[in-house]
Amino acid sequence: MATDEALALETPRESRALPRARPTLSPIVPWAVGIALTWLALAHFHRDSVAMLWHWAPHLALGLRMNVLISVLAIGIGTVLGAVVGALELSRCRWIKAPARGYVHAFRNAPMLVLLFFTTYVFPFEIHVGSLYLPFPDWIKVTVGLALPASAYIAEVFRGALLSITSAQWEAAASLGLSRSQSLRWVILPQCFKRVLPPWMNLYAMITMSTTLASLVGVTELLESARNATNTVNRTDFTILVYLAVLTLFFLYCYPITRFTARLERKYAFH
C-alpha cells in the first residue's frame, strides 16, 4: 500500500514537468532564403543586367571595404574618446565636468552631415611636418566627423553604465582591500561592459549606415561606387539592380549585428 501511495504521489510531479522548448528557426534564415530567391529570379529575368552587375562587383566591393574601414575606425576612436569624456562627466570638479558636458551636448545635437562638411573643410588637405608634406585624405576627415558624435553618444552610455553600479559594489570591493583604481578595473568596469555592449553595437550599426554620407564629400565608398556604375552603364534596369545590391550588402553586414545585439540584451538583461 505504501508503494502504491508513493507512486500515486510521484505521478502528478511527473505530469507537472515543463515541456522541452522546441528548437526555433533563426530569424536570419528566412531573410537569407528570401534574398537568395530574389536574386535568382532577377538573374533569370534580367540576365544582361545581372551580368553587368557582376562585372562591377569588384568595384562595389572596394567601396564597401571603405565603408567598413571608416566605420571601424570611427567607432574605435569614438569609444576611446567617449570613455574618457564619460568618466570626466562624473568628476566632482566643476572645471572638469562642465567642459565634458558641453562637449557631449555639442556633438550629440549636431547633424552628422554638417559635421562631415565641417571636418572636410576645417582640416587641411596635407600636413606640413618638417620638410615633408603628408596627405590628409578625405576619408580620414570623414572618420573624424563620424567619431565625434559617436564619442558623445558613447560618453553618455558609459556615464549611465557607471551610475547604474550601486555603491554597495564599491563598498564590497573596498572591504576586500582593493584600492579605488583596482575596484574600478576588476569590479566596476566588467559590470559596465555588459551594460555598454548592446547600445555600443547598435551605435556601430548606425555609424556603418551613416558612412554613405561620405559620398557627398568625395569619398569613393559603396554608394559612390554604385553611382559611378550607374552613370557609366546608363540603364534604368541596371540602376535599380545596383541600388538593390547596395541595400543587400548593407543588410547582410548590419542585420547580423542587430541580431547579435538583441541576443546580448537578453543575455545581460538586468531586472
Query: Which ranges of the chain does DSSP label H, i.e. alpha helix?
Result: 2-15, 28-45, 47-89, 94-108, 112-122, 138-164, 167-175, 180-183, 189-210, 222-233, 236-267
Give the C-alpha separation, 83 to 205, whole Å.
Answer: 19
Give the C-alpha separation, 246 to 242, whole Å.
Answer: 6
Q: How many CB atoms lie within 10 A of CB 127?
A: 11
How high is the pLDDT of residue 60? 92
How high is the pLDDT of residue 52? 82
Give the C-alpha separation, 103 to 83, whole Å.
Answer: 13
Q: How many CB atoms lie within 10 A of CB 188?
A: 18
**Domains of the chain with CATH codes:** 30-36+46-267 (1.10.3720.10)
Residue ranges of the chain whose pLDDT lies below 50: 1-3, 5-18, 21, 23, 271
- Judged by DSSP in three states, 134 sits in strand
Cell numbers found for residue 235:
540603364
